[in-house]
Structure 1
Amino acid sequence: MLMIPYREQDHAKLVAVWERAVRATHTFLEEHHILFYKQMVSEALEQKQAEVWEVLDVEQEPIAFIGLDHSFIEMLFVDEHFQGQGVGKFLVFQTMKMKGSELRVDVNEQNEDAARFYAKMGFVQTGRSELDGSGNPFPLLHLEMKRTGV
């Protein structure tokens, strides 16, 4: 796997990766929610609101991405066809190499697979919010990792 900085030419492909990942994992969302968040993600990528890194497959096509605000993981999405193959773990470890081991992330409480993934990676819950960042009733778990070494 190869991790590279965001490439503008991959914008539509990354939004498609996001949508496939969300449809596979965020079963609690209704269609209008998906469309709302899809627009937000598209704008965030386009406006470079976060430091974005892509993971490319052997054919140099994006299969996952992570968006960072310093050591806070704003978004981490793996194409549904590549989930469970170590891509997310690769992204977290590469991020630790770049940003250090004190990473933070918020995860939807209803996304149990993501919560389990982050727990396996060493994140612990430090708080909870009833609403997501957009004010929608999708509780967030606030997680933090404090590890020494990678």
Structure 2
Amino acid sequence: MSSLLVVNGPNLNLLGQRQPQVYGRTTLAEIEQNCIAHGQRLGCEVQCFQSNHEGALIDALHGARGVHDGIVLNAGAYTHSSIALMDAIVSVELPVVELHLSNIHARESFRHKSYIAPVAVGQICGFGAHGYILALDALKAHLDGAK
């Protein structure tokens, strides 16, 4: 059974309340429940983690090595600024799917640059909370293809 880690970065704890016109009305707790349930349907164990702190996100990525088979990462605003997160992804040598609720390419120009994309197996953005399901499907397909 594959083990997948879903990591959420800054401000995602406020989903459902924060800018619902951009990020939707689904809460992070609901997203996490949906991810765990979908993982069961895929035959995967899914664990979830969220932090507003860059170092805690890096620690979670480091801790995934040898424990999980892959990671879905919504790094929030750190996507556009964190070389440290990029380096952590490279260091753990696990496949990572980059995820965003909104279409970052249709937003402000500073959101168009992702430090995560060059080291991720792929990027899913713009599908709201359903993007997590798509990301889990994509990661599972990637892992199955690598076997």
TM-score, with normalisation over the residues of structure 1? 0.39
Is the helix fraction higher in 1 or 2? 2
Larger strand percent: 1
